[in-house]
Amino acid sequence: MKVGVVVFPGSNCDLDTLRAFRLAGAEAEPLWHESPDLGGAAAVVLPGGFAYGDYLRAGVIARFSPVMRAVADFAAGGGLVLGICNGFQVLAEARLLPGALLRNRSLRFVCRQVAIVPERLDTPFTRAIGERRPLRMPVAHGEGCYYADEATLDALEAAGQVLFRYARPDGSTPEDPLDPANPNGSLRAIAGVISAAGNVAGLMPHPERAAEPILGSDDGMLLVRSLVEAAAERAAAAGPARVGGR
């Protein structure tokens, strides 16, 4: 079972992401952004970084890379796609996920450990977490303030599309966007969302940077393992002939 990690010019978390997925037992391979297909990957990860230097708006130039057509087709067919940080920004710009990531309210690049809580435990991205509890992992971004209009936010809440929220150490979620537990001022403390169909997800924090105890936390591996398990099940169910088909 292969996990493809897309590499855009300016991606800088691709190696960490490959390592985390290999630690979880997956065969993880880089996917160059000019690739017209996904090389038979059963799941695709868009890693963090500064694709195309974040020029114009974070993620928008990358959205038009050739590989993104294959990613969009894969997602439309139910394929599992995870965007981390810059990868989340790319998925939002590509309209594969709702909302937009604005400049942090503080105008500062924020790089520190945060806590997030999963709002769904039944998705391919969170199934290994087990219970709703705060997970510790770092954020490192200048444009992570999640925004959608009020009607969209209400619809996302109602549909269970809020996947993660920033949280205090005790697991409670701050309502005030200026609360110190909310690193960027995201509306409703949203740290990650999932598509309506449940197969595309994005989050600003970096699970791959919380993949081993020596990094200060290995909570991120719960997300990595979730995706590896879910992708392996799907690959097995699809049978070898269909794996890699587009």
Partner 1 sequence: MTEFRFAVNVLPRAGILDPQGRAVEAALPHLQIRAIRDVRVGRRVELTAVADSTAEARALVERLAGELLSNPLIESFTVEELGATSSLASAAGADGPGPAGAPGAGAAPGAGAAPGTAGR
Residue 55 interacts with partner 1 (CB under 8 A): yes or no? no
DSSP string, the chain: -EEEEEE-TTB-SHHHHHHHHHHTT-EEEEEETT-SS-TT-SEEEE--B-GGGG-SSTTTTGGGSHHHHHHHHHHHTT-EEEEETHHHHHHHHTTSSSSEEEPPTT-S-EEEEEEEEES-SSSTTTTTT-S---EEEEEEESS-EEE--HHHHHHHHHTT-EEEEEE-TTS---SSTTSTTSSS--GGGEEEEE-TTSSEEEESS-GGGSSBGGGTB-THHHHHHHHHHHHHHHHHHH-TTTTT--
Looking up tokens 């945060």 gives 114
Q: Does 175 participate in catalysis according to the annotation?
A: no
Q: Per CB under 8 A, does 64 bind partner 1?
A: yes
85 catalytic per annotation: yes
Smallest separation, CB 57 to partner 1 (Å): 6
Rank residues 54 and 219 by Cβ distance to partner 1 and give the closer one: 54
Taking the least distance from each CB to partner 1, the nearer of 39 and 177 is 177
**Of 53, 56, 130, 176, which lies in the binding site for partner 1, with binding defined by CB under 8 A?**
56
* C-beta of 144 vs 220, nearer to partner 1: 144
Q: Is 57 in the site for partner 1 (CB under 8 A)?
A: yes
Stretch that binds partner 1, among 55-63, 75-83, 206-214, 223-231 (CB under 8 A): 55-63
> Binding of partner 1 at residue 185 (CB under 8 A)?
yes
Footprint on residues 5-34 left by partner 1 (CB under 8 A): none
Q: Which of residues 121-180 bind partner 1 (CB under 8 A)?
A: 145, 147-148
Contact pattern from residue 92 through residue 111 relative to partner 1, giving x for each residue in contact according to CB under 8 A and a dash for the rest: -x-----xx-xxxxxx----
Residue among 85, 93, 119, 143 flagged as catalytic = 85
Tell me which residue has tokens 């998705």: 123
Q: Does 141 participate in catalysis according to the annotation? A: no
Which residues form the interface with partner 1 (CB under 8 A)? 56-57, 60, 64, 93, 99-100, 102-107, 145, 147-148, 185
